[in-house]
Structures are given as structure tokens and as C-alpha cells.
Amino acid sequence: MRPINRLLIANRGEIARRIMATCRDLGIETVAVFSDADADGAFVADADLAVALGGNTPAESYLRIDAVIDAARRVGADAIHPGYGFLSENAEFAQAVADAGLVFVGPSAEVITVMGSKLEAKRQMADAGVPLLPSIELTGMGADAVSAAAAEVGYPVLIKASAGGGGRGMRIVSEPGELAEAVAGAAREAESAFGDATIYAERYVSPSRHVEVQIFGDNSGRVVHFGERECSIQRRHQKIIEEAPSPSLNDSNRAELHAAAVRAGEAIGYTNAGTVEFLLAPTGEFFFLEVNTRLQVEHPVTEAVFGVDLVALQLSVAAGGAVPDQAAIGLPNGHAIEARLYAEDPTAEFRPSTGVVHSFDVPGAAAGAEAGVRVDSALRDSGEVSQFYDPMIAKVIAHAPTRQAAARRLAKALAAATIDGITTNRDLLVRTFRHPEYLSGEADSSFLERHDPAQLGRPLVEDDDLALSAAVAALARQASQRNEDRNTASVSTGFRNVSTQGQQVLLSVAGSAVDEADAATIDVTYRFSRGTLTELAVDGRVFNNPVVYALSPTEADLAVDSIRSRFAVRSAVAVNDRELLSVTGPVGTIQFAVEPRFREPTSEVEAGSTVATMPGTIVAVNVAPGDSVEPGDVLVVMEAMKMELSVAATAAGTVTTVGVQVGETVEAGTVLATVDSDAAS
């Protein structure tokens, strides 16, 4: 055994904080490394020591092997935990850690090398007798050869990065005409994300299920499993919901799946934590996809149902310890579901969202396992979501005796969560957990194709509740203004020189529209008489018999139409200096922006201009001045928060200007290109 006394975590955000939590329990000192953008991150504050790497982008910071190794040497670390993403599946890094005389918390560099190439992994699994889907490597092929290979695999075909993960470097191709662009895009994204543009074509099976098995190996050659997880509901080939055990398996294929995963681990001499991923076809057949040579994002659901700390076991095995006997691991207890809370807008094709989270809280999380709700978060109570990294800000996990109970518990916790300042996928997650198809266990990888994400992601608060929440926001703002009034403090609330006229407040639903000049407004009017609320209306709808039982800047106890409700209100200021008001009531939370009564004149961009909707880096410019384009033609490709965003022409015309170039970092609102539609007529 080689004890680990000081551990450097070569990662950031949520996973760094999660590893540190286990280290605190074990009495192990922790070291954080951080970029300039993460200097104020919660994970940096959680660590015993922290070392600045400099830079903002991953290439400038977390992907710098030499800088990470140097940081470990300087602070006297015994070991390095790579977390997931970044360098976690980089064989060169694992070898560099070993060469530096440090313990790498993960499998050997040799195993990572073999499994890091999905193509080589497939060859190894074929030798071990694990079922495979047909696939062909495409790298280095000419256009005709690529077309022939795709035809041999069979349409629809999935273009995949050999070194990929997290849904990056993947494209679904339904017909030959889509192939060239998909291959180019997948290779470009793979090179950017992993430094390896190797891609291959694989048969695409849809509908299907994504089921994976958690394996663990030690230095004696023993490999065991901790059951399976299902991760079928995904967007952009990236998981958003995971659960254990899988509702898609029966006793027979479950046992076969576990045995195949252990056989795969034994075939490659696997050590430490790993995940063998499979595609489950409607027939019940399963096919090997890949081995993830690291801890998975979704590991908490396995921890919940098996009552195990997988990070603690990782550290024990890395120090020379043994994995438990399979019999000692036992069977899963109850059901656990994890939701990935992303800073993105499902109503706008999952467009990433950046900015400051002013307040973050999930009810019940503080009680932990006792309440059946766990939160692994990159944030403490607040924090900034940067354009440079993955948009996941937290994972919320619920554990209950049954699957339906876990889904209900998770939906309730998410619906009541406080997330002020940015747009997230929270409402889509809640609606999914309450959807009959999900509750029945029938949801598969095509769930978000059958059910419009824009509808699932709309605010949980319906029209009537939205109107009441807007009224509460306006009244709480009135109370705040009265508290701040030092000149007429003796005058009753709502006093006006012209007593026949009510007060008016214009609001808009905050989120993706908070920066848009044409955001739809909500008109709230109210009138007080001698401190008593006598009139209340929203967009012309009059609330009858309004009664205020209590009102302050932070809470309201209000009855309208003889129904009494209580609300919590929080205020903040957005980066554009707009006042934000978040209202949490019986049916959920909604955030409003206070609109100016009279808008100031603003400069307008040239007609036909296409602008960046968020900060990002330009990775491709597909047009030049003078080019003719049709609606849907991709003008520019941006990368933001580890996602590629294609910016397309909205009308036919001629490109008159291109305002950006590859490699340039742009802010939201930057004009990317201008198309003159008149020139095309």
C-alpha cells in the first residue's frame, strides 16, 4: 500500500468539489488547480491549497500536462485525480504522472491508450466475444471511399470521434447528401475537443437504449461490477438523465450484460473505476459502444443504490487496495435518478447560457441522504457560468424505494429550486420526470425527438400563475422602494398626488429574452388607498378582492379571488444593469426583468445582419463577400461552452460582408455576416 496524504485534482467545478468532499471524510489534503476564469470558483475555495495555471480556455489551463505536473510537484502532492473530461482519458498524462513518481487515480496509461481509441477498443472487444455494431474508420479516406464505407455500414449512420466522449465529434447522417458536411464537422470538433481528428462510421440504431455497467478492477486482476445505469435520454448525444438500475432490462439480459462488462474489463487488465457502455436494441440485444476509463458524471446513482463511495474506492485501489468480492457488493437498493442541470435554453435549440447565478439552492439537499436528495454542484450559493467550459452547473440526484417515487421526489426538488440569473434546462427536466412515457419506463434515446424540447422546456408556471407571480413581483418592488424612501417615510404605501391613477410596472420573463429589446412585456397595474391594496390587474385581467396579509421586499402573503398564497421574492441586478425579480410560489419559480417605461434609443445593426447570440470562438467561416446563400446555409460556426453552434442564413441573398475570422473570440451581439436579400432578386 502507498498511502495518499495530499491529492491534486486536475479538474474544476462540480467534480472537483465532489472529490474534495470524499477527501475531507478520509482526512486527505486537497489541491486545486485553476484557470484565470475560475479564480473565484467554489472548488478553489474548498481546496486546502490551490495553484494558478493561468489562461482561460482549457488549452491554456486544464489541458497543460506540464503545468499540472509542475503544480503537483510544487505542493508535494502524492497523487493526482483527473476527474472526468479534460485529461482524464489522456494516456500521455497518465504516463507523465507515473514518470513524475506520483500516483494516477485511474487505470494504466496502456489501458487508456487501447480504450482511448474506440476503434482499437472494438477490436479488443471482438476478441473477448463482446457483441459489436458494424463500423469502419474514415480518417484519411477520400470522398468516394467515405461514401462507400457509409453505404457498407448502412444508413442511418453515426459519425463518431474515435477519441471522443460527452457527445462531441458525433453526427447522425440519414442520407448520403448529408455525409460530407457531417464528416467534416465531426473531424473538426474531434480535433478541437480531443486533439485527435480520427473518426469512424457506425450503424445507427434508433430507437435504442443507452445502458452502461460500472466496473472496478484492482492490481490482482480481479474485476467486479456495481450494476448498470441507463442514460437513454440525451440531447446532442450527451446525457441529461441517468438512473440505476435500468428499467429496460430483464433478469436474463441483465446478467448477460454484467458478465460481458466484466469480461471486457478482464480482457484488458482493467484497474480502478471504469464504465463499459452498451447500446440496447428494441429486440433486447445489446452491443458494445466503448469503455470510459474514468469516473462517470453519473456515478452518484450507483453510489445511492449500492451504498458505496466510488471516489473513496478509487483512492483505495490507487493506493494498492483491493476491490470487494462480487458477493459482498450485493444487489441495488431502491432506485436512483440523476438530472444534469445545464445552463442552456431548451426553447432555443439548447443554446448555452452564460452569466452570473445570483442565487442557487435546491430544497432538501442540505439534509442529504436523509431527505433522499443529493446535489453535486459547481456553485455554492452563487457563481459565474463561463463561456469557456461545459454548461453543466450541477447534478441533482434523488433516491427512493421505487422508480416512480424517485422521479416524483426529483421533480419536486427541481421545481422548487432557486436558480436566479441564467436560463437552465430545469423546466424540461421536471416535465420529463412527470411525463407518462418516462414514468412508464418506455422513454428511449428518441424521447426528445418525439417530444418537442421547446414545449417541455417552457416555464412550469402556467398563464394564470404567471400573471399572479408578476403581480407579486411588482408589489414586492413597491415594498422595496418604500423601504428605501427616506423623504416621505410617513406617507402610506402607494400614495400618489393623482389618486385616481394606479401604479404601473412593466416586466418581462427573464432568461434568453432578458437582453432582447423586443421582449414581450407584462403590464402590472395596482392601486393602494390609505395603505390598502384596492386594485390589481395584469395585462388587463383584473384580480378580484385582492387582500395583502403581509408584504415586504422578500415575501408576499396575498389573496386574490379568495385564494390565499405565499411567495418568496429575491432581487438582483443583471450584467446589463436590469433589475431582476425572482418569485417562488406554490407552483414553482419564475424570474422577471423590470422593463423601462420608455426605452432609450439604441443603435441598430444593418438590415440582413446575423449576430452572435452569445460569447464564443469562431471555428469556421463558410462564406465570403459575393457568395449566394439560401435559407439554412451555414454562414459561420461558433464554439461556446464546448458545443459547436452553426449560424445559418435566414433568407436567400448575397453575402455583402463577413465580420469575423477563424480563431476570433466574439461577444454577444457581434455582427458575423450580412446578407443582402435584394441582391438575390
Q: What percent of the chain has pLDDT over 70?
A: 92
Least confident of 97-101, 233-237, 469-473: 233-237
Residue 214 near residue 228 (C-beta atoms within 8 A): yes
More confident residue, 481 or 6: 6
Question: Topology of 6-105 in CATH?
Answer: Rossmann fold (3.40.50)
Query: Cell match 408576499: residue?
Result: 556
Instruction: Give CA–CA dist 400/100, Å, rounded.
Output: 44
At the top level of CATH, which class does the domain 134-203 belong to?
alpha beta
Mean pLDDT of all residues in 243-269: 95
Residue 591: name the closest of 583, 603, 601 by CA: 583
Residue 439 near residue 411 (C-beta atoms within 8 A): no
More confident residue, 163 or 17: 17
Instruction: Give CA–CA dist 97/103, Å, rounded.
Output: 7
Tens-place pLDDT, residues 441-453:
999 999 999 999 9
Mean pLDDT of all residues in 376-381: 93
Mean pLDDT of all residues in 85-94: 96
pLDDT over threshold 50, residue 524: yes
Per-residue model confidence (pLDDT) at position 589? 81
Instruction: Give CA–CA dist 309/312, Å, rounded.
Output: 5
Per-residue model confidence (pLDDT) at position 529? 86
For residue 123 the three cell numbers come to 477490436
What value, to the nearest 5°, has the Cα angle with vertex 161 and ends 155 and 162? Answer: 110
Tens-place pLDDT, residues 128-164:
889 998 888 898 899 999 999 999 988 999 998 887 6
Q: How far, CA to CA in Å, does 161 sit from each of 138, 255, 508?
A: 10, 30, 42
CATH entry, 463-595, from 3.30.700.30, 3.40.1190.10, 3.20.20.70, 3.30.470.20: 3.30.700.30
Predicted confidence band of residue 679 (pLDDT cuts 50, 70, 90): low
Predicted confidence band of residue 539 (pLDDT cuts 50, 70, 90): very high
Strands (E) located in 97-187: 103-104, 135-137, 157-165, 168-173
Per-residue model confidence (pLDDT) at position 680? 54
Q: Do domains 6-105 and 342-458 have the same CATH topology?
A: no
Instruction: Give CA–CA dist 595/138, Å, rounded.
Output: 53
Per-residue model confidence (pLDDT) at position 619? 87
| Neighbouring-strand partners of residue 213 | 228, 276
For the chain, the residue count is: 681
| CB neighbourhood size of 596 (10 A) | 8
Predicted confidence band of residue 578 (pLDDT cuts 50, 70, 90): confident
For residue 5, what are the contacts with CB-CB under 8 A and spacing of at least 6? 28, 29, 78
Per-residue model confidence (pLDDT) at position 517? 44
Read off the amino acid at residue 257.
L
For residue 581 the three cell numbers come to 425579480
User: Quick one: which H or E segment has residue 410?
Assistant: helix 403-415
3-state secondary structure of 584: strand
pLDDT over threshold 70, residue 280: yes
Predicted confidence band of residue 513 (pLDDT cuts 50, 70, 90): very low
Mean pLDDT of all residues in 45-68: 96
Mean pLDDT of all residues in 314-329: 97
List the 634-640 sheet strands across, edge first: 643-648, 634-640, 616-621, 665-666
Residue 650 sits at φ, ψ, to 5 deg, of -100, -10
More confident residue, 579 or 614: 579
Least confident of 108-117, 317-326, 434-443: 108-117
Instruction: Give CA–CA dist 235/341, Å, rounded.
Output: 13
Mean pLDDT of all residues in 229-247: 95
pLDDT over threshold 60, residue 469: yes
CATH entry, 609-680, from 2.40.50.100, 3.20.20.100, 2.60.120.370, 3.30.450.40: 2.40.50.100
Across all residues in the chain, what is the average pLDDT?
A: 89
Read off the amino acid at residue 352.
P
Q: What percent of the chain has pLDDT over 90?
A: 61
Q: CB burial class (10 A; 0-12, 13-18, 19+) of residue 100?
A: middle
Per-residue model confidence (pLDDT) at position 512? 43
Read off the amino acid at residue 342.
Y
Q: How far is C-alpha 413 from the geometric centre of its chain's CA atoms?
A: 17
For residue 643 the three cell numbers come to 458545443
Beta strand 223-230 with 168-173 is: unpaired
| Neighbouring-strand partners of residue 398 | 337, 373
Question: N- to C-terminal Cα distance for the chain?
Answer: 77
Per-residue model confidence (pLDDT) at position 515? 40
Listed by start position, the domains of the chain span 6-105, 134-203, 206-333, 342-458, 463-595, 609-680
Mean pLDDT of all residues in 453-468: 87
| 3-state percent breakdown (helix, strand, coil) of the chain, nearest 5 | 30, 30, 40
Per-residue model confidence (pLDDT) at position 514? 37
More confident residue, 366 or 196: 196
DSSP 487: S
For residue 64, what are the contacts with CB-CB under 8 A and spacing of at least 6? 53, 55
Per-residue model confidence (pLDDT) at position 475? 94
Instruction: Give CA–CA dist 384/380, Å, rounded.
Output: 11
For residue 677 the three cell numbers come to 436579400
Instruction: Give CA–CA dist 329/213, Å, rounded.
Output: 14
Mean pLDDT of all residues in 265-272: 96
Query: Cell match 502524492: residue?
Result: 78
Tens-place pLDDT, residues 588-634:
788 898 988 765 555 556 777 888 877 888 989 999 998 999 988 89
Per-residue model confidence (pLDDT) at position 341? 97
Q: Which CATH superfamily is domain 206-333 in?
A: ATP-grasp fold, B domain (3.30.470.20)
Residue 131 near residue 287 (C-beta atoms within 8 A): yes
Per-residue model confidence (pLDDT) at position 516? 44
Residue 159: name the closest of 168, 148, 172, 149 by CA: 172
Q: What is the CATH number of domain 342-458?
A: 3.30.470.20
